[in-house]
Structure 1
């Protein structure tokens, strides 16, 4: 599979920061913006890259990347789809993944690319949850019917959902034939939404929903600085915000057995006041629960393997992480998320909590384990449940 990084545009929305450089060479954390895109693709196994840029910026990127990537130049601001069309000779008859260099992902894109490799034909896009309606009005928003994208509405006045199309697109090589049929939009550009809607009409446009932080750093100067801040926090062990986070822990094995960390508490936004341990038989689901008083939880699987699942009840955004054998890590769940776990094997679970449990006034509220927003995340369809979870 080939990778195409699109780093064109005039950068006018980030003026005056872009008076002396291409916007994709501006820093996000310790790297230029474009490096995050290249690293995300490389981490997903896509290492043969073409970078498409405009104006006189090819030399700027060549000074940075050298011969590690190939280059193509877009003569004018003709749209994302036109820039994609310049990759035809580079791609040949292989599949490709296209990434907008100003889109920043606080997590791995590898699952989407792996899913596309298994997809028989068509295209695949990566969606993300967006809270603000006004923000959605500036994005491509899919209309989803019966689990499939019926169409993508560009910059809708009334968004048809809370998901937006991000800057990651996977295509078969026939995408270049699609691009060749496009007519310029009202702004004189070939639109990537028209490409994606071609596959939607064919019924071959698949999608994934990104579970981490996503931001468009090229949208405006305030958004650029917001992305820097949010992306930095997404890299931190604990997020002072609204997302579940995986926290790597160290484990040392020798002939005697093993020794392991079970928490790094100094970084938690709120300090835990109680630590609990539970044993669950394979196939058990505990949850989903949420805490109106905002109890945070830190889950560790000491033995066996468990799947921790969380749900943002406001946006429908979901998170899942398998921990324990093969992935010794903690999972931090902010108190605003409904959460629970499934025992993929017999498991011994430890969890630190930021409130002391009061059986006379328990701050535990239920979301059904088979809520349609999360039911697909469990591996079992007939779990072992408590009476309370069964009746929720």
Structure 2
């Protein structure tokens, strides 16, 4: 069994951050989104992983993620020159996959459930395809599956006006080698892409064994700011514990589940968890409220932050009014002049410098 993780795409919904970086490397609880997928796949016992990359961000993904040693895996990088669809990504990965069954995992997804049961069903029933599904409130915004009482997939419809169910395609699939023939026999869609839903439908139409597995836990597509903040909150809730590796002075107060990385200094500040703070940060005269993630090498002075994600090397100085629901890019600088507004909400790209006057 092998796996491929899709880590291309332009990430238009997370701009301006994704003008300068891969959306799959944006951190949730100070860890790149992509890494959660790798860890989930390795936990299921799959260690041969191909990562589909694009020319624009592939170098950054390779440099950040490496050869897989840190995960106990072996990673092969596979270039998809143009974003021509999920099925096209499988097509370019075919030399890596060979005749092996495989997991396909979208690199900007986070799912609560482990892949073990998913994998067990696929193997024990000798399926040609298995799709992970999740109940959603707005099925018209997703690819939707029509299934029978036994979970067999009857039809897949992309963003239907009249959905046959509220079961959305999560973005985690298992395939046998039969999917390669299906992809070879489909045509590009109206948007010029080879759609994985068309390839699965090809299998269904030819009476191949295509089943579903309904996710009971949470599923998050982190393609938008609010989705990423929601993911950050859930991960902090589920994973945080009190670990102090940095320095906290006598005038500071830390409560709840808080991680403070090595080399970080907390000076005259209040930190109320769940919060994670990376390495070599300086936090002075600040309030850091719940569900905040602050990456390595960040400087916060006279700042009040809650439910926000601050990327590596950012500086926030002189803003005592509360910053909430914000995403501040790597190496960005945010500072305020003496006349201060009452409330602020931001999404700031990498290397920005913003002064509030």
Do Structure 1 and Structure 2 share a fold, with TM-score over 0.5? yes
The alignment status of 1:31 with 2:37, answered yes or no, reads no
Match of 1:88 among 91, 94, 100: 94
How many Å separate the matches in 2 of 1:216 and 1:198? 26
Alignment counterpart, residue 202 of structure 2, candidates 190, 198, 201: 198
**CA–CA distance in 1 between the matches of 2:98 and 2:187?**
23
Partner of 2:82: 76
SS in 2 for 1:228: helix
> Which stretch has the larger CA shift, 57-66 or 82-91?
57-66
Three-state SS of the structure 2 residue aligned to 1:193 is helix
The runs of 5 or more residues in structure 2 that have no matched partner are 69-74, 242-357
Decide whether the 8 Å contact of 1:34 with 1:101 is kept in 2. yes
State the TM-score, normalizing by the size of structure 1: 0.57
Aligned equivalents of 2:66 and 2:96: distance in 1? 18
- The 5-angstrom pairing of residues 375-386 of structure 1 reads none
Q: C-alpha separation between the residues in 2 aligned to 1:33 and 1:155?
A: 25
Q: Please state whether the residue corresponding to 1:146 is helix, strand or coil.
A: coil
Q: Does the aligned pair in 1 maintain the 2:3–2:103 contact within 8 Å? A: yes
RMSD: 1.8
TM-fit CA distance, 1:51: 0.2
Distance 1:16 1:112, change over 3 A: same
Q: 1:217 aligns with which of 212, 215, 222?
A: 222
Equivalent residue number for residue 267 of structure 1 = none
Deviation of 1:234 after TM superposition, in Å, equals 4.5
CA distance in 2, matches of 1:26, 1:60: 12
1:151 to 152, 155, 158: 155
Count how many residue pairs are aligned between Structure 1 and Structure 2. 234
List structure 1 runs of 4+ shifted beyond 6 angstroms.
none
The answer to whether the Cα contact below 8 Å between 2:87 and 2:196 also exists between their aligned partners in 1 is yes
The C-alpha deviation readout for 1:178-200, integer Å capped at 9, x for no partner, is: 11222111111111111121222
For residue 66 of structure 2, what is the aligned residue in structure 1?
66
Q: Which runs of 5+ in 1 are unaligned?
A: 238-392
Equivalent pair of 2:127/2:211 in contact (CA under 8 Å): no
Deviations 1:17-46 (A, max 9, x none): 111110000001131010001000000111
Q: Distance in 1 between matches of 2:16 and 2:66?
A: 27
Map 1:1-392 → 2, pairs under 5 A: 1-68=1-68, 69-130=75-136, 132-133=137-138, 136-147=139-150, 148-201=152-205, 202-218=207-223, 220-235=224-239
TM-score, normalising length: structure 2: 0.62
SS at the partner of 2:19? coil
